[in-house]
Amino acid sequence: MICGLILAAGRSRRMGVQKLLLPIGDRAMIARVADAVLAAPVERVFVVTAHSGSGVAEALAGRSIHLVPNADPNGDMLSSVRHGLRALPHDCAAAVVVLGDQPEVSAEMLTLLVRTFRATGAGIVVPVYQCKRGHPLLVAARYHAEILERYDGIGLRGLLNAHPADVMEVEVDTPSILEDVDVPEDYRRAVTRLKTGQRS
């Protein structure tokens, strides 16, 4: 079983409003991301939210997902990853870690990561654009316990650095893997690109 793990517990401090609820086309940003993951070859989807939910649950209503509250309101991204990993079923062979504020993620991109994992058995599969690694990324179950115990202050970058021989890079043709939405200008750019059908 492959699981999707969407990180949606950020506090949106730099945006000034809950960015995951901002509209992207006809849906909230987090709904667009969740729909991409649900359309990918994953069996179960987990969404890590702030403890209060921050409206994310309402935006995802009607979708086949499992909400996982992050009990630490000041937790960083690694904290959210850990909460999500603890919630995964024991037969989850790998988790595709997806940023909730990356509205240009596509089911095709996620499918590429999953197919690469199944074809190669690599423990970590990461997309690369012009020699730069980005998100989302896939992490095999054999590393989940290690993530729970290590890499404080470093995050998943520490995992990739610790196991270079088990990292499979997948070249992609879109810089969207390097871009998320943190400030209003990021949001305006994402809306414009998606409105015009561009991926970069």
The candidate with the shortest Cα–Cα distance to 78, out of 21, 22, 5, is 5
23 three-class SS: strand
pLDDT tens digit string along 156-166?
999 999 999 99
* CATH class, range 2-195: alpha beta
Give the pLDDT of residue 195.
Answer: 79
Q: Where are the domains of the chain?
A: 2-195
CA-CA distance, 105 to 165, in Å (whole number)?
Answer: 26
Q: Which comes out higher in pLDDT, residue 74 or 2? A: 2
Query: Which has the minimum average pLDDT: 55-59, 62-66, 74-78, 176-180?
Result: 74-78
CA-CA distance, 128 to 98, in Å (whole number)?
Answer: 15
Tokens of 98: 């997806």
